[in-house]
Structure 1
Amino acid sequence: MKVSTFPPLFLLLLIISLSGSCRLGTHAAADHHGHELEDLMVVATSSLEHTARDAAVCSGHKVMPSGDGVRWVPMNRPHGPCSSSPAVMEEDTIDDMLKWDQLRTSYIRRKLSGGGGGAGEDVNSDTTTSGVSEKNGMGVTAVNLGDAKCAAPAPTQSLEEASMTVVMPAARQTMVIDTSSDITWVQCLPCPFPQCHTQKDPFYDPAQSTTYAAIPCGSPACTRLGTAYGNGCSASNNQCRYAVDYGDGTATAGTYITDTLTLSAAIVVEHFQFGCSHAVKGSFSDQTAGVLALGGGAQSLLAQTAKDFGNAFSYCVPLPSSLGFLSLGGPVGASSRFARTPLIRNKRAPTFYIVRLEAITVAGKRLRVPPAAFEAGAVMDSSAVVTQLPPPAYAALRAAFRTAMAAYGPLASPVRNLDTCYDFTRFTNNVTLPKVSLVFAGGAAVLDLDAPSLMLDGCLAFAPTPGGGAHGSSVGFIGNVQQQTYEVLYDVGGGSVGFRRAAC
């Protein structure tokens, strides 16, 4: 397919429709290169004509979330049949989404290498605002904050990102989950425009919660913010201030407070520490109230609930027509339901979760990639869009994929950092794709990629990392396009990451 001006999430759903038929078709490409039929997947080209609005039925997740079966909340994509948001979407291109993705991942690489980044920018200054919007296509969920006496009316707006709803008793909040940040925050009254953006839910108002408490300057909680997130104190009331710069054109700043966080009847966190945001920079997801942080740092939701829920969590990134979930806890230690790989932590940047690829297979054949190419590892990131591979690994994948797809040439124009794109509109019957699998360290954990996890708007949904050279290694990313439909378990206490196929 050629690049269009359709919203990125529409294109993602379009590719999902492309994978709707897995029966063998009549296209002759199935065995042109000697591939076994089980190493190929065939989809109907006509499925490309479907739109997000054609999928009228929301299908639930396929398995019971991990843990004890009760500590989980639903997660969905915006605008699909599983979302309560309006069907109207802004005309954002996939190029916008990939631009944001490159900025975000470059910033994380700098953090992993000991580079800068932190709370230094003034998010109220017009000179620091950016046109870059956070567009990752990840799921959203709902939560509640506080002990509600009443709630302010919610402004009208449209949702652009997948989210989840977190409930702090004072207000129900729809939030994006992020495994590569540590500070949870919501927009918080007073929150004037344009420093704040419109959102789907009522703004959280600490004055309406009987369980709200300010965090004073000099307290251990305020001191732990350090230089990365600390932003001084309020001169008027000695209240701790925080700031987060995401390095992609977005940032948030406000006061640091506590309240009761309720995700479900089984997940209630008293005295939860989070940011009460009075100003944002850049454009965060429309209708989402903020970010639910699940990184490895001391301030994250995981760290604050580790003793109660076993220092583990899992999620399943859904397709737009399906329901996903976020689960706290999980089957820590040995579990036959998950194929596992070791979790690697970086002492300079404990926020990030790193795994190591061992091999890549295309149409059943293992690619010849020097083991050293994978040495730097890859960040497991809920918000990164496409998977980024070190140059030697990406070059091998691209060559094998293009060879298997020779019948669909010539190549279409690249889309930003996606350089293996096809115009499938010239083919009226079926499209045959080679099966691609990512094999992680230890060999037991494998991501077998379905069509929606392989192609994005007609392009191979992989990109090379910007560093590493022809033979070197650079930190990669496992994007949420490739994570779709798998339950991904972060067993931080047990030191592993696990995968369970077809969970949502």
Structure 2
Amino acid sequence: MTASQQQEAGASGPLAVFLLLLLLTGCPIVHAAGAGAEARRQHYMVVQTSYLEPKSICSGLKVIPSGKGAWVPLRRPYGPCSSPASAPPPSLVELLQWDRVRTDYVRRTTTGGDVLDPDNARVAMSQVDYKLEGSFIIGSGGRRPRSTAEDGGDDAMFLSQTMAIDTTVDVPWIQCLPCPFPQCYPQRDAFFDPKRSSTAAAVRCGSRACRALGAFANGCTKHSNNSAGECKYLIKYGDKWSSAGTYMTDTLTLSPSITFLNFRFGCSHAVRGNFSSQTSGTMSLGGGTQSLIAQIARTLGYAFSYCVPQSSATGFLSLGGPVDGASSFVTTPLLGNAEFINPSIYIVRLQGINVAGRRLNVPPVVFSGGTVMDSSSIVTQLPPTAYRALRRAFTRAMTGYPRRRGRVENLDTCYDLGAFTNVTVPAVSLVFEGGAVVKLDPPAVLLEGCLAFTAVNTDFALGFMGNVQQQTQEVLFDVDAGVVGFRRGAC
């Protein structure tokens, strides 16, 4: 079967996941010739400027992932590989504004700068362009998947739900009927109706699953004196964002041969906040006990990987990890959750940065706050000492290109490249604990002509590796082995 046939088969199967990232891969690189060409190939890359622009044609899936569990295609919702959007995509400025708010909140709730309310768990999320998004089949099995309730027949209980995917969130949730406006927001897919699924059931109060909600629990609702009551959940995403409803179980289909009968998720009847109509809710890949990964770990193993594609291509999510484990990846240790108060996130240790073949003169202790591996943050956030060193080295290497006045939100080093056919970009690599060196492609360095990095407030603070820098890399989260891995050029 060809890659395009495999893509077509995967997209029409029970589970299709769509990646929300502005990512560019497979850039045509023009190497220097003549004296010193070999050294220049290692230190600089020449990329066609046209390759840095969005494409209007979907190029589809470029590789078939090798996974020991289930794999699904990933796409960006506003790109040509996804369904038409009901609203225009947010601007880069809007995305960067939310990115800063979101990562600041995750940082506070991880390092203790903002103590969590023990009665109300909170996570930060925005279902916008740079988040992972996918369609999951939830409901009774044995019927064809549908994205809309066409005739109201029995098939309507077996719907594809498009959900944001986030590696910093634990509890999955979707909007469920009854879900009146304005308590709920309009969405692209038909609302899930648990009454039409023969395998749907509310989690009972007092059960182990209900107790496991912990800070996400929101009491119980009893329908009669003989009822044990339905378990309720509440997720707060800061002061103005929340999702509340009934904690339920139902069938989750990952592939024709992989089905989970008692998948736990929040059935939301009230949502507060400006969530995207592109999605029906959130499917989590976080490190907590309620996440998708934790729930399927006994069957598929506690590992997953994803490859972020360009906006006009298709990537993949592999559940259970690759068949060869981490052997073909460069790896860095996962830091223990005991060091942080938020067990949901995945943290590694960045130790250095190489620019044009030279290591920046930045003491490794500057990075001691750790770096979050985040599927949803946009640009990589560095300690200010490291960012200033990166900016100096980068601007020295880009002296042949005119600087653009001003800045784009928190991106302060921008260039006017419209008059150039090719752009010579210095090679940038991130060096992690354990010796893992992750070389970035040009589109992982420049975002709309700007250096795609920014600084956090202080050295030693928690940083983030953004998904712009993760593009073209297959990123492996092997929780059992305690490592994060990178494999370049996987999609």
TM-score, normalising length: structure 1: 0.83
Query: What letter matches 1:43 in structure 2?
Result: V
Relative to structure 1, the CA distance from residue 330 to residue 98 in structure 2 (aligned partners, 3 Å threshold; closer, same or farther) is same
Q: CA deviation at 1:357?
A: 0.8
Query: What letter matches 1:330 in structure 2?
Result: G
Mapped contact 2:383–2:456 kept (Cα < 8 A):
yes
Query: What letter matches 2:481 in structure 1?
Result: G
Structure 1 CA distance for aligned equivalents of residues 129 and 21 of structure 2: 13
| Corresponding residue for residue 385 of structure 2 | 392
Q: CA deviation at 1:285?
A: 2.6
Q: CA deviation at 1:432?
A: 1.1
Query: What letter matches 2:263 in structure 1?
Result: F
Equivalent in 36, 49, 55 of residue 52 of structure 1:
55
Correspondence 1:371 to 2:358: no
Relative to structure 1, the CA distance from residue 87 to residue 217 in structure 2 (aligned partners, 3 Å threshold; closer, same or farther) is closer
Kindly, what percent of the aligned residue pairs are identical? 49
Correspondence 1:224 to 2:212: yes
Equivalent in 479, 483, 492 of residue 466 of structure 2:
479
SS at match of 1:183: coil
Correspondence 1:178 to 2:166: yes
Q: Give the alignment's Cα RMSD to 1 decimal.
A: 3.2
Query: What letter matches 1:454 in structure 2?
Result: V
SS at match of 1:283: coil
Mapped contact 2:20–2:76 kept (Cα < 8 A):
no
SS at match of 1:304: helix
| Structure 1 residues 267-416: aligned runs within 5 Å | 267-331=258-322, 335-347=326-338, 348-416=341-409
SS at match of 1:52: coil
Mapped contact 1:373–1:392 kept (Cα < 8 A):
yes
Correspondence 1:437 to 2:429: yes
Structure 1 CA distance for aligned equivalents of residues 443 and 149 of structure 2: 34
Structure 1 CA distance for aligned equivalents of residues 89 and 65 of structure 2: 36
Mapped contact 2:397–2:426 kept (Cα < 8 A):
yes
Relative to structure 1, the CA distance from residue 368 to residue 277 in structure 2 (aligned partners, 3 Å threshold; closer, same or farther) is same
Mapped contact 2:127–2:279 kept (Cα < 8 A):
no
Query: What letter matches 2:461 in structure 1?
Result: S
Correspondence 1:86 to 2:84: yes
Q: CA deviation at 1:204?
A: 1.0
| Corresponding residue for residue 127 of structure 1 | none
Query: What letter matches 2:420 in structure 1?
Result: T
Structure 1 CA distance for aligned equivalents of residues 475 and 85 of structure 2: 29
| Corresponding residue for residue 161 of structure 1 | none
Mapped contact 2:21–2:310 kept (Cα < 8 A):
no
SS at match of 1:96: helix
Mapped contact 1:200–1:287 kept (Cα < 8 A):
yes
Structure 2 CA distance for aligned equivalents of residues 401 and 168 of structure 1: 54
Mapped contact 1:119–1:244 kept (Cα < 8 A):
no
User: Structure 1: any 5+ residue segments left out of the alignment?
Assistant: 1-8, 124-129, 157-166
Relative to structure 1, the CA distance from residue 151 to residue 337 in structure 2 (aligned partners, 3 Å threshold; closer, same or farther) is closer
Query: What letter matches 2:278 in structure 1?
Result: Q
| Corresponding residue for residue 108 of structure 2 | 110
| Corresponding residue for residue 412 of structure 2 | 419
Equivalent in 216, 231, 238 of residue 240 of structure 1:
231
Q: CA deviation at 1:51?
A: 4.4
Structure 2 CA distance for aligned equivalents of residues 351 and 80 of structure 1: 29
Equivalent in 20, 34, 40 of residue 36 of structure 1:
40
| Corresponding residue for residue 71 of structure 2 | 72
Equivalent in 254, 257, 263 of residue 263 of structure 1:
254
Structure 1 CA distance for aligned equivalents of residues 62 and 422 of structure 2: 28
TM-score, normalising length: structure 2: 0.85
String of CA shifts for 1:355-383, please: whole Å, max 9, x gaps: 01121100111111111111111010111
Query: What letter matches 1:73 in structure 2?
Result: V
| Corresponding residue for residue 5 of structure 1 | none
Mapped contact 1:342–1:495 kept (Cα < 8 A):
yes
Paired residues, number: 458
Q: CA deviation at 1:47?
A: 4.8
